[in-house]
Amino acid sequence: MPLPPPTERTGFVGRYAPSPTGDLHLGNLRTALVAWEEARRAGGTFILRVEDLDTPRCVPGAEERMLDDLRWLGIDWDEGPDVGGPAGPYRQSERSEIYEAALQELEWRGLTFLCTCSRRDLREASAPHPPLGGPLEAEGPPYPGTCRMSDPVTQRLHSNGAAVRFRVSEGEFRFSDAEMGELVCDLQKLIGDIIIRRRDGLWAYQLACAIDDALMGVTHVTRGRDLLSSTPRQLALQRALGLREPQHRHIPLVADATGARMSKRDGSDSLRSLRETGVTPEEARRVISNVTLLD
Ligand code: GLU
């Protein structure tokens, strides 16, 4: 199957793209509210996309609970897994054929290679990596390029259990963020070649998100600042495929009671626990608008 063309759109198209890995916390909901308000203020379309590719981390029943929390709070969407729409399916687990087509297109352009490195190999091959400390800091050292040059025949032999990486070019990579202004990085030095299909065969978030935003015709991506370092990776994939780039806006993260970044893990800051105290949606929205932000 060739890569389908982007859904034709007019006007502002926003989205919220949660992963069903637990109950939404107040920080997740603040992001959802900001993205939804922007789309509604612009008289645009708002999409809800469920990012359920990382199946080992998905929690049964979490999708229904997330959608119910969003609706209870007053957020609505024009397109989504429960209402359908022209750019569906809206659950990533149902979009494998599209990711496969994107992979083939990248392969055809000579932009992919197989990587058989284990985490341990990568740890051992990586030079000491002093943190760069900037807003684009990634999760770990850049990929050292170990399998970049392997010959294609050997690659085929190893394809079972190998990851697929996207070749990243060297040099300056520029993009803009509506909150943070013009940003520039060297993607090769910062991240290195990007995994687009994991060793366990699952599609990587970076590929899926880049393809979905572009093909769904999303014009504005508003999301938490924890995803800022993903943006140049997703833009690099969109640029390589000649797809239209959305405008990004990364908003500050929310602090928990200890001043640390709020996480889904302990559940204490979930909307569920707040709902159980008997608050109304209006009160909950007020709580969410008054949360402490991290800078
Ligand atoms: N699915 C991601 C998450 O829940 C968000 C992806 C995005 O907004 O681009 O963290």
pTM over 0.85: yes
d(CA 180, CA 108): 35
> 161 C-alpha to center of ligand 1: Å?
26
- Residue 18 near ligand 1, beta carbon < 6 Å: yes
User: Of all protein residues, whose CA lies closest to atom 7 belonging to ligand 1?
Assistant: 17
Q: Cβ(195)–Cβ(229) under 8 Å?
A: no
- Residue 227 near ligand 1, beta carbon < 6 Å: yes
User: Which of 227, 238, 245, 247 has the most ligand 1 atoms within 8 A of CB, as the residue to mutate?
Assistant: 227
Any idea what DSSP says for residue 57?
G
Give the pLDDT score at 267.
78
Dihedral sign of CA atoms 20, 26, 31, 37 in order: positive
Give the pLDDT score at 202.
97
Give the pLDDT score at 132.
55
Give the pLDDT score at 295.
78
In this predicted model, what pLDDT tens digit does every residue of 130-152 receive, in sequence order?
Answer: 555 577 777 788 999 999 988 77
Topology of 95-206 in CATH? Rossmann fold (3.40.50)
Give the pLDDT score at 129.
58
| Residues labelled catalytic | 264
Q: Cβ(162)–Cβ(114) under 8 Å?
A: yes
Give the pLDDT score at 128.
59
- Residue 231 near ligand 1, beta carbon < 6 Å: no
Tokens coding 30: 């603040």
Name the burial class of residue 38, with classes exposed (0-12), middle (13-18) and buried (19+) by CB atoms within 10 angstroms of its CB.
Answer: middle
Which residues neighbour 85 within 8 Å (Cβ) at sequence distance 6 or greater?
A: 47, 78, 79
Domain ranges of the chain: 1-92+252-295, 95-206
User: Of all protein residues, whose CA lies closest to atom 6 belonging to ligand 1?
Assistant: 17
Give the nearest ligand 1 atom to 16 CA.
8
- Residue 223 near ligand 1, beta carbon < 6 Å: yes
DSSP states of 211-279 = HHHHHTT--EEEEEGGGGGGHHHHHHHHHHTTPPPPEEEEEPPBB-TTSSBP-TTT-TTBHHHHHHTT-
> 29 C-alpha to center of ligand 1: Å?
12
Q: Cβ(113)–Cβ(74) under 8 Å?
A: no
Tokens coding 244: 């239209």
> 223 C-alpha to center of ligand 1: Å?
7
d(CA 96, CA 103): 10
Q: What share of the chain is helix, strand, coil (3-state, %, to 5)?
A: 35, 20, 45
> 149 C-alpha to center of ligand 1: Å?
32
> 160 C-alpha to center of ligand 1: Å?
28
Which residues neighbour 37 within 8 Å (Cβ) at sequence distance 6 or greater?
A: none
Which residues neighbour 266 within 8 Å (Cβ) at sequence distance 6 or greater?
A: none
d(CA 53, CA 74): 27
Per-residue pLDDT of the chain (295 residues; tens, 9 = 90+): 899 999 999 999 999 999 999 999 999 999 999 999 999 999 999 999 999 999 999 999 999 999 999 999 999 999 999 999 999 999 999 999 999 999 999 999 999 999 999 888 887 777 655 555 577 777 788 999 999 988 777 777 777 889 999 999 999 999 999 999 999 999 999 999 999 999 999 999 999 999 999 999 999 999 999 999 999 999 999 999 999 999 999 999 999 989 999 988 777 789 999 999 999 999 999 999 999 999 7
d(CA 190, CA 177): 18
Amino acid sitting at position 64: E
- Residue 17 near ligand 1, beta carbon < 6 Å: yes
Which residues neighbour 15 within 8 Å (Cβ) at sequence distance 6 or greater?
A: 35, 46, 47, 48, 49, 213, 216, 218, 221
Give the nearest ligand 1 atom to 21 CA.
4
Topology of 1-92+252-295 in CATH? Rossmann fold (3.40.50)
Give the nearest ligand 1 atom to 224 CA.
8
Give the pLDDT score at 151.
76
- Residue 3 near ligand 1, beta carbon < 6 Å: no
Tokens coding 236: 């690099």
Q: Do domains 1-92+252-295 and 95-206 have the same CATH topology?
A: yes
Tokens coding 283: 């009160």
In this predicted model, what pLDDT tens digit does every residue of 19-75 receive, in sequence order?
Answer: 999 999 999 999 999 999 999 999 999 999 999 999 999 999 999 999 999 999 999
- Residue 236 near ligand 1, beta carbon < 6 Å: no
